[in-house]
Structure 1
Amino acid sequence: MAAIYALYARPVHHFLLGLTAGDRSEAEDILQETMLRAWRAIDSIPADDSGARRWLFTVARHAAVDAYRRRRTRPREVSLDDVIGLAGRDETMETALTVQTIREAVKRLTAAERAILADLYVHGRSQRQVAALHGIPLGTVKSRSHHAVQALRRASLTGGDDKD
Protein backbone atom coordinates (compact mmCIF):
# COMPACT_ATOMS: atom_id res chain seq x y z
CA MET A 1 0.00 0.00 0.00
CA ALA A 2 2.93 2.33 0.71
CA ALA A 3 4.13 1.84 -2.87
CA ILE A 4 0.70 2.69 -4.25
CA TYR A 5 0.55 5.81 -2.11
CA ALA A 6 4.06 6.86 -3.17
CA LEU A 7 3.26 6.38 -6.86
CA TYR A 8 -0.23 7.81 -7.08
CA ALA A 9 -0.94 10.16 -4.17
CA ARG A 10 0.41 13.27 -5.88
CA PRO A 11 -1.40 12.83 -9.26
CA VAL A 12 -4.66 11.83 -7.53
CA HIS A 13 -4.36 14.83 -5.18
CA HIS A 14 -3.82 17.13 -8.17
CA PHE A 15 -6.90 15.63 -9.88
CA LEU A 16 -8.94 16.16 -6.70
CA LEU A 17 -7.80 19.77 -6.42
CA GLY A 18 -9.46 20.35 -9.78
CA LEU A 19 -12.69 18.75 -8.60
CA THR A 20 -12.74 20.73 -5.36
CA ALA A 21 -11.95 24.13 -6.91
CA GLY A 22 -8.55 24.19 -5.25
CA ASP A 23 -9.80 23.41 -1.73
CA ARG A 24 -6.67 21.67 -0.39
CA SER A 25 -8.33 20.49 2.80
CA GLU A 26 -11.23 18.91 0.93
CA ALA A 27 -8.89 17.37 -1.65
CA GLU A 28 -6.73 15.87 1.13
CA ASP A 29 -9.80 14.45 2.88
CA ILE A 30 -10.99 12.86 -0.35
CA LEU A 31 -7.47 11.54 -1.06
CA GLN A 32 -7.48 9.87 2.38
CA GLU A 33 -10.88 8.35 1.64
CA THR A 34 -9.60 7.17 -1.75
CA MET A 35 -6.56 5.49 -0.20
CA LEU A 36 -8.73 3.93 2.52
CA ARG A 37 -11.02 2.47 -0.14
CA ALA A 38 -7.97 1.22 -2.05
CA TRP A 39 -6.59 -0.43 1.09
CA ARG A 40 -9.94 -2.12 1.76
CA ALA A 41 -10.04 -3.41 -1.82
CA ILE A 42 -6.30 -4.03 -2.27
CA ASP A 43 -6.96 -7.30 -4.11
CA SER A 44 -9.10 -5.45 -6.68
CA ILE A 45 -6.36 -3.07 -7.78
CA PRO A 46 -5.02 -4.09 -11.21
CA ALA A 47 -1.38 -5.19 -11.22
CA ASP A 48 -0.37 -3.13 -14.26
CA ASP A 49 0.50 0.54 -13.84
CA SER A 50 -2.08 2.01 -16.23
CA GLY A 51 -4.86 -0.21 -14.86
CA ALA A 52 -4.00 0.71 -11.27
CA ARG A 53 -3.91 4.39 -12.17
CA ARG A 54 -7.32 4.25 -13.90
CA TRP A 55 -8.76 2.29 -10.97
CA LEU A 56 -7.51 4.80 -8.38
CA PHE A 57 -8.72 7.80 -10.38
CA THR A 58 -12.15 6.18 -10.69
CA VAL A 59 -12.24 5.54 -6.94
CA ALA A 60 -11.14 9.15 -6.34
CA ARG A 61 -13.87 10.50 -8.61
CA HIS A 62 -16.50 8.40 -6.83
CA ALA A 63 -15.19 9.56 -3.44
CA ALA A 64 -15.37 13.19 -4.64
CA VAL A 65 -18.94 12.73 -5.82
CA ASP A 66 -19.85 11.12 -2.49
CA ALA A 67 -18.25 14.02 -0.61
CA TYR A 68 -20.12 16.51 -2.77
CA ARG A 69 -23.42 14.77 -2.12
CA ARG A 70 -22.77 14.73 1.64
CA ARG A 71 -22.02 18.45 1.60
CA ARG A 72 -25.08 19.16 -0.50
CA THR A 73 -27.42 17.38 1.93
CA ARG A 74 -25.73 18.77 5.03
CA PRO A 75 -24.25 22.20 4.38
CA ARG A 76 -21.20 22.98 6.45
CA GLU A 77 -20.55 26.31 8.05
CA VAL A 78 -18.15 28.60 6.24
CA SER A 79 -16.61 31.88 7.18
CA LEU A 80 -17.16 35.06 5.22
CA ASP A 81 -13.50 34.93 4.16
CA ASP A 82 -14.08 31.47 2.66
CA VAL A 83 -17.07 32.75 0.71
CA ILE A 84 -15.15 35.77 -0.57
CA GLY A 85 -12.25 33.49 -1.52
CA LEU A 86 -14.53 31.29 -3.58
CA ALA A 87 -16.33 34.16 -5.29
CA GLY A 88 -15.32 34.44 -8.91
CA ARG A 89 -14.00 30.90 -9.34
CA ASP A 90 -15.48 29.38 -12.47
CA GLU A 91 -14.55 25.75 -11.96
CA THR A 92 -16.16 24.66 -8.75
CA MET A 93 -16.97 21.06 -8.09
CA GLU A 94 -20.66 21.85 -8.42
CA THR A 95 -20.11 23.35 -11.86
CA ALA A 96 -18.06 20.35 -12.98
CA LEU A 97 -20.72 17.93 -11.78
CA THR A 98 -23.51 19.99 -13.37
CA VAL A 99 -21.67 20.00 -16.69
CA GLN A 100 -21.23 16.22 -16.44
CA THR A 101 -24.92 15.79 -15.60
CA ILE A 102 -25.99 17.89 -18.58
CA ARG A 103 -23.62 16.00 -20.91
CA GLU A 104 -25.12 12.71 -19.79
CA ALA A 105 -28.64 14.11 -20.24
CA VAL A 106 -27.80 15.30 -23.76
CA LYS A 107 -26.58 11.78 -24.59
CA ARG A 108 -30.01 10.45 -23.56
CA LEU A 109 -31.80 12.75 -26.03
CA THR A 110 -32.72 11.37 -29.43
CA ALA A 111 -30.47 12.26 -32.36
CA ALA A 112 -33.25 14.46 -33.77
CA GLU A 113 -33.60 16.37 -30.49
CA ARG A 114 -29.82 16.87 -30.23
CA ALA A 115 -29.64 18.14 -33.82
CA ILE A 116 -32.50 20.59 -33.28
CA LEU A 117 -31.00 21.93 -30.04
CA ALA A 118 -27.60 22.31 -31.71
CA ASP A 119 -29.12 24.22 -34.61
CA LEU A 120 -31.15 26.46 -32.30
CA TYR A 121 -28.69 27.14 -29.48
CA VAL A 122 -25.23 26.46 -30.89
CA HIS A 123 -25.68 27.70 -34.45
CA GLY A 124 -28.23 30.38 -33.55
CA ARG A 125 -30.77 29.47 -36.19
CA SER A 126 -34.44 30.38 -35.88
CA GLN A 127 -37.10 27.72 -35.47
CA ARG A 128 -38.27 28.37 -39.05
CA GLN A 129 -34.71 27.94 -40.36
CA VAL A 130 -34.32 24.68 -38.44
CA ALA A 131 -37.64 23.40 -39.78
CA ALA A 132 -36.57 24.18 -43.35
CA LEU A 133 -33.11 22.71 -42.81
CA HIS A 134 -34.48 19.42 -41.46
CA GLY A 135 -37.49 19.31 -43.77
CA ILE A 136 -39.98 19.03 -40.91
CA PRO A 137 -42.96 21.16 -39.85
CA LEU A 138 -42.37 24.17 -37.60
CA GLY A 139 -44.59 22.60 -34.93
CA THR A 140 -42.34 19.53 -34.84
CA VAL A 141 -39.29 21.72 -34.24
CA LYS A 142 -41.12 23.51 -31.44
CA SER A 143 -42.31 20.33 -29.73
CA ARG A 144 -38.97 18.50 -30.04
CA SER A 145 -37.02 21.47 -28.74
CA HIS A 146 -39.50 21.93 -25.89
CA HIS A 147 -39.31 18.27 -24.85
CA ALA A 148 -35.51 18.26 -25.12
CA VAL A 149 -35.14 21.41 -23.02
CA GLN A 150 -37.55 20.00 -20.42
CA ALA A 151 -35.51 16.78 -20.24
CA LEU A 152 -32.31 18.77 -19.72
CA ARG A 153 -34.01 20.93 -17.09
CA ARG A 154 -35.25 17.85 -15.21
CA ALA A 155 -31.77 16.34 -15.34
CA SER A 156 -30.17 19.50 -13.97
CA LEU A 157 -32.69 19.71 -11.14
CA THR A 158 -32.44 16.05 -10.17
CA GLY A 159 -28.71 15.69 -10.66
CA GLY A 160 -29.19 13.28 -13.55
CA ASP A 161 -31.17 10.75 -11.51
CA ASP A 162 -34.33 11.30 -13.59
CA LYS A 163 -34.45 8.63 -16.31
CA ASP A 164 -37.88 9.70 -17.64
Structure 2
Amino acid sequence: MTTTASTLLDEIVRAHGPALLAYTTRLTGGDRHRAEDVVQETWLRAWRNLTRLTDDQGSVRGWLKRVAHNIAVDQHRARAARPAEVEMPATDPTATPERADEVVDRLFVADVLRALPTAHRATLAEVYLADRSTAAAAVALQVPVGTVKSRVHNALRTLRTTVPALEAA
Protein backbone atom coordinates (compact mmCIF):
# COMPACT_ATOMS: atom_id res chain seq x y z
CA MET A 1 0.00 0.00 0.00
CA THR A 2 1.07 3.54 -0.55
CA THR A 3 1.63 6.34 1.88
CA THR A 4 -1.87 7.63 1.30
CA ALA A 5 -3.29 4.26 2.42
CA SER A 6 -1.24 4.47 5.61
CA THR A 7 -2.43 8.03 6.15
CA LEU A 8 -6.04 6.94 5.57
CA LEU A 9 -5.72 4.18 8.18
CA ASP A 10 -4.13 6.63 10.64
CA GLU A 11 -7.11 8.96 10.19
CA ILE A 12 -9.56 6.09 10.74
CA VAL A 13 -7.69 4.99 13.89
CA ARG A 14 -7.70 8.55 15.26
CA ALA A 15 -11.37 9.04 14.48
CA HIS A 16 -12.70 5.67 15.68
CA GLY A 17 -10.00 4.16 17.92
CA PRO A 18 -11.23 5.33 21.36
CA ALA A 19 -14.85 4.45 20.58
CA LEU A 20 -13.85 1.03 19.21
CA LEU A 21 -11.79 0.27 22.32
CA ALA A 22 -14.66 1.28 24.61
CA TYR A 23 -17.05 -0.90 22.58
CA THR A 24 -14.76 -3.95 22.66
CA THR A 25 -14.11 -3.48 26.37
CA ARG A 26 -17.85 -3.80 26.95
CA LEU A 27 -17.96 -6.81 24.61
CA THR A 28 -15.25 -8.60 26.56
CA GLY A 29 -16.86 -8.00 29.94
CA GLY A 30 -14.39 -5.30 30.98
CA ASP A 31 -11.26 -7.30 30.16
CA ARG A 32 -9.00 -4.58 28.79
CA HIS A 33 -6.33 -6.96 27.48
CA ARG A 34 -8.80 -9.04 25.49
CA ALA A 35 -10.41 -5.86 24.21
CA GLU A 36 -7.05 -4.59 22.97
CA ASP A 37 -6.47 -7.91 21.20
CA VAL A 38 -9.83 -7.58 19.46
CA VAL A 39 -9.08 -3.99 18.44
CA GLN A 40 -5.66 -4.95 17.09
CA GLU A 41 -7.18 -7.72 14.96
CA THR A 42 -9.85 -5.27 13.79
CA TRP A 43 -7.15 -2.82 12.62
CA LEU A 44 -5.42 -5.63 10.71
CA ARG A 45 -8.64 -6.45 8.91
CA ALA A 46 -9.28 -2.76 8.29
CA TRP A 47 -5.85 -2.48 6.67
CA ARG A 48 -6.65 -5.43 4.39
CA ASN A 49 -10.02 -3.91 3.43
CA LEU A 50 -9.00 -0.26 3.30
CA THR A 51 -10.67 0.29 -0.07
CA ARG A 52 -14.06 -0.56 1.46
CA LEU A 53 -13.68 1.88 4.36
CA THR A 54 -15.12 5.01 2.86
CA ASP A 55 -18.21 6.92 3.92
CA ASP A 56 -19.75 6.55 0.47
CA GLN A 57 -19.79 2.74 0.93
CA GLY A 58 -21.44 2.86 4.36
CA SER A 59 -20.59 3.71 7.93
CA VAL A 60 -16.90 3.14 8.71
CA ARG A 61 -17.64 2.93 12.43
CA GLY A 62 -20.44 0.45 11.78
CA TRP A 63 -18.07 -1.75 9.74
CA LEU A 64 -15.40 -1.59 12.46
CA LYS A 65 -17.90 -2.44 15.21
CA ARG A 66 -19.31 -5.39 13.22
CA VAL A 67 -15.82 -6.78 12.56
CA ALA A 68 -14.82 -6.29 16.21
CA HIS A 69 -18.03 -8.01 17.34
CA ASN A 70 -17.35 -11.00 15.07
CA ILE A 71 -13.76 -11.27 16.32
CA ALA A 72 -14.87 -11.13 19.96
CA VAL A 73 -17.49 -13.84 19.37
CA ASP A 74 -14.95 -16.04 17.58
CA GLN A 75 -12.46 -15.66 20.43
CA HIS A 76 -15.14 -16.44 23.01
CA ARG A 77 -16.18 -19.59 21.13
CA ALA A 78 -12.56 -20.69 20.78
CA ARG A 79 -11.98 -20.33 24.54
CA ALA A 80 -15.20 -22.18 25.36
CA ALA A 81 -14.30 -25.03 23.00
CA ARG A 82 -11.03 -25.92 24.72
CA PRO A 83 -10.62 -27.03 28.31
CA ALA A 84 -9.66 -24.50 30.94
CA GLU A 85 -5.94 -24.12 31.53
CA VAL A 86 -4.65 -25.09 34.96
CA GLU A 87 -1.22 -24.68 36.46
CA MET A 88 0.75 -27.82 37.16
CA PRO A 89 1.97 -28.25 40.72
CA ALA A 90 5.69 -28.05 41.38
CA THR A 91 5.82 -31.75 42.25
CA ASP A 92 4.59 -34.56 40.03
CA PRO A 93 1.09 -35.50 41.30
CA THR A 94 1.35 -38.96 39.74
CA ALA A 95 4.54 -39.83 41.59
CA THR A 96 4.13 -42.00 44.66
CA PRO A 97 6.32 -41.36 47.66
CA GLU A 98 9.16 -43.81 48.20
CA ARG A 99 8.09 -46.13 51.03
CA ALA A 100 10.88 -48.71 50.87
CA ASP A 101 13.17 -46.85 53.30
CA GLU A 102 10.31 -46.31 55.72
CA VAL A 103 9.43 -50.02 55.68
CA VAL A 104 13.06 -51.02 56.26
CA ASP A 105 13.35 -48.55 59.16
CA ARG A 106 10.17 -49.87 60.78
CA LEU A 107 11.34 -53.47 60.49
CA PHE A 108 14.73 -52.56 61.96
CA VAL A 109 13.20 -50.69 64.90
CA ALA A 110 10.75 -53.53 65.56
CA ASP A 111 13.65 -56.06 65.64
CA VAL A 112 15.71 -53.87 67.98
CA LEU A 113 12.78 -53.29 70.34
CA ARG A 114 12.01 -57.04 70.46
CA ALA A 115 15.52 -57.57 71.84
CA LEU A 116 14.65 -55.45 74.90
CA PRO A 117 13.00 -56.92 77.99
CA THR A 118 9.20 -56.61 77.96
CA ALA A 119 9.10 -54.10 80.83
CA HIS A 120 11.62 -51.80 79.11
CA ARG A 121 9.82 -52.08 75.75
CA ALA A 122 6.46 -51.21 77.38
CA THR A 123 8.02 -48.23 79.18
CA LEU A 124 9.57 -46.85 75.96
CA ALA A 125 6.23 -47.30 74.19
CA GLU A 126 4.45 -45.26 76.87
CA VAL A 127 7.04 -42.48 77.02
CA TYR A 128 7.99 -42.12 73.33
CA LEU A 129 5.22 -43.65 71.24
CA ALA A 130 2.27 -42.56 73.40
CA ASP A 131 4.11 -39.27 74.13
CA ARG A 132 3.43 -39.40 77.85
CA SER A 133 5.38 -37.79 80.65
CA THR A 134 7.14 -40.08 83.09
CA ALA A 135 4.38 -39.42 85.63
CA ALA A 136 1.63 -40.30 83.14
CA ALA A 137 3.55 -43.39 82.00
CA ALA A 138 3.93 -44.46 85.66
CA VAL A 139 0.15 -44.26 86.11
CA ALA A 140 -0.48 -46.22 82.90
CA LEU A 141 2.07 -48.90 83.80
CA GLN A 142 1.09 -48.88 87.50
CA VAL A 143 4.68 -48.47 88.68
CA PRO A 144 6.48 -45.67 90.56
CA VAL A 145 7.84 -42.68 88.58
CA GLY A 146 11.41 -43.60 89.56
CA THR A 147 10.93 -47.05 88.01
CA VAL A 148 9.81 -45.48 84.72
CA LYS A 149 12.87 -43.21 84.70
CA SER A 150 15.28 -46.06 85.39
CA ARG A 151 13.63 -48.33 82.79
CA VAL A 152 13.90 -45.61 80.13
CA HIS A 153 17.53 -44.99 81.06
CA ASN A 154 18.43 -48.69 80.99
CA ALA A 155 16.50 -49.33 77.76
CA LEU A 156 18.24 -46.47 75.94
CA ARG A 157 21.64 -47.60 77.26
CA THR A 158 20.95 -51.13 75.96
CA LEU A 159 19.87 -49.75 72.59
CA ARG A 160 23.03 -47.62 72.33
CA THR A 161 25.27 -50.62 72.92
CA THR A 162 23.21 -52.83 70.60
CA VAL A 163 22.96 -50.36 67.74
CA PRO A 164 26.15 -48.30 67.18
CA ALA A 165 24.30 -45.70 65.07
CA LEU A 166 22.29 -44.68 68.13
CA GLU A 167 25.36 -43.57 70.06
CA ALA A 168 25.22 -40.18 68.33
CA ALA A 169 21.58 -39.72 69.39
TM-score bracket for this pair, using the shorter chain length: 0.3 to 0.5
Q: Using CA pairs below 8 Å that are at least 6 residues apart, which structure has the higher relative contact order?
A: 1
Bigger radius of gyration among the two: 2
Superposition TM-score, scaled by structure 2 size? 0.43
Superposition TM-score, scaled by structure 1 size? 0.44
